[in-house]
Structure 1
Amino acid sequence: MTAAGAEAGAAVPGPLELLAGRGRDLLVRIVTVACSDRALPEMAAELAGLVVRSSRELAFCDVYVLDEDERALRGPGGPPVPLGEGDVGWAAAHGRTRVHADGRGVAVPVHSGRSTIAVVDVRSAGRCLPEDVVLVTALAELFAPVLCSCRRLRAAQEREHAAERFAERAVEVQEAERSRLSREIHDGIAQRLAGLGFHLSAAEGALPDHHPEARRQIRHARELCELAAAETRAAIGGLRPPVLDDLGLSAALATLAREVGGPPPRGDGLDVTVAVSGELEDALPDHVQTALYRIAQEAVGNCVRHASASYVDLLLEHDRERVRLVVKDDGVGFSIQDVYASRGGGRGPGRRPDSYGLRGMAERAELLGGRVIVSSRRGVGTTVEAVIPVPRS
């Protein structure tokens, strides 16, 4: 090596010397950014700004982070950079520093173990100073654990969002099928029953007075037809209550309370109350409202079918993070172990049929990341509590 070359080599300090030469402020800034609650891409932007402020002559810096599929890198806006393409993609694919063709920039890989997880791409107005290249390489090593944590957080958030989208889609498919059945029943069976009732009334009016037995049979048939029509209307309303779409969950619960609390034969004569507390800044997503309404519907239906209760209280509480539904009755109660027990110690067909409603409520809540807790004892009534997290906007 020539004397000039030795002098040039000695003029560029090593990574530790460079970091130490920048003083404690640089390390404090790195720790401050690393300990912040920022996620990608905000964290990448903060680290990029830190690189420019710490350098001598660097004008721009972008931090590109490898996505979970490890096929492309996401940078500050613009389309992802495919692995192997351009200076950034080449540095990521080969795990080595890549100098830009014009000498005014360099792409430095960020390693985590044997893998490249990101690339720090810097540019200068003129040719990059060797000192700045060494500094960027040193900072890339310090950024590795920070970006590793950010990638894990991003992956967890994306899985959570995917689960939310799956749950929303699953509820949408269920409700679409219920709506289809509702329309078919309304346009088919309900219309046939209405026509049948009309013809029975006409037949009764056409009978001579000296056929009392025939009149009695026709009146009985008409009563059965009216009862079937009423049950059909109730089934249509149960499949998809219009009030849930028009006015929301609170109004739908109030309508459910009026229907169940009305006098027979339309209602069941229960004393049903509904209380709502808390306000959401935004309306609950449709699939969350639907799931909560179905849980309330099943819980109130269980009260009617099994509890022999005199009253049912419904409480709906919501805030920014979660919504809570409580259905409480004063009925006969039951043993939860007995309900979930299987005849003969087996599974499947031996399981008691009244456990399906409880499991259905739990599955609806779990699909949305929530839970259902059922508390009951013989003689003291039953409480069903459903808690569902509110999806972030």
Structure 2
Amino acid sequence: MTAGEPGFALLGSVGSRPVLGLVAPERENALLLAIIEAVSNGPAVEPMAAAVARLITDATTTDVCFVHVLDDTERSLTLAGATPPFDQQVGLIQLPIGSGVTGWVASHHEPAVIVEHKESDPRYVPIPALRGTEFTSMASVPMATEPGGLVGVLNVHTVARRKFTDRDLRLLLVIGRLVAGAMHQARMHRQLAARERAHERFTEQVIAAQETERRHLAGDIHDGISQRLVSLSYHLDAVGHILRDDPNEAAVQLRVARELVDLTLDEARIAIGGLRPPVLDDLGLAGGLASLARSVPQLEVSLDLADERLPEHVEIALYRIAQECLQNIAKHARASTAWVRFGTHEGTARLEVSDDGVGFEVGPNPGTGTVESGYGMQSMTERAELVGGELRVVSRPGSGTTIVATVPAGA
């Protein structure tokens, strides 16, 4: 039983009549067809799970059914469908993998049956909201599909004592496979829709960031480069006027003009570097990453870099990801050492940036939510995805952080 498997004594329950099977053989096909129709009605996980739970309890000699779905982190199960009144708990009950009978079934990918005395089973963990003590017997089966693996766990419970047969378990496993296939497609649909929404938000943010950067760059050019060039022209005019009368003063003005030229060149390089890192043109990605590491003096950065060239847009994406990583480490990680590794293998480029800092709790979607996984993390994720790759974040409080970007080397 799931961590707290349920209990709801239905009026007129089947506890007083003999039971030979979950459902009469002649009704099995009708039940399976009804479930196929239910899972074909749409991509939403919760309505599908609720419909399946109702069909099972209506057609079988069980009293309550729970459908627990594996969440995107693959570390816990969430109650996605249940027969009334437990439908009010949908989305509220979460079970860690390995916890309770449901968690055991999920971690072992094997059915579990408890005929009676659930409390004496070491796997059983009660959940008050599901009132498990009101039920005597239960069967729990994994919902798995070939392309998607484990999708969730299906549980049925009876008030009366029941010894579930091999035929019962086979029927539940068939139902579980039918539901798992549809759930897998629903999860893929949901993730795709979420990714499309994230892309839309990211596009808006990129446009806004571009406009902000352009205004900032225009201000830098106006206030810095332009003003210095105007001042330089004044000094050169002054040199022309006084050259005949006071050669010493002319020499002073020329020195000032030279200093202005040097400052203007430095500011121009900074402005150009904001648009595109020129170090990539000169030294390639490995040299650019090494230069980037030297720009963070408060960190000891250890480097392991393969001297390999990639397409221009891929190098820029990986350079910007590394830049964002090192900036985040310097600002938030309270780390003393960072490691930057880059290389390619079998057509895939891999960039890894890690630190020995304070770390943080990685949420289900690292691109949203916490301060640590805010716009900077989303920006890095999108940069990797826009060149056909992906970003993976590994961190936990007190154990540092590792960020890995993998992209096709010939994207």
Normalising by structure 2, we get a TM-score of: 0.38
Q: Of the two, which has the highest radius of gyration?
A: 1
Q: Which has the higher helix share?
A: 1
Normalising by structure 1, we get a TM-score of: 0.39
More RCO (CA 8 Å, sep 6+): 2
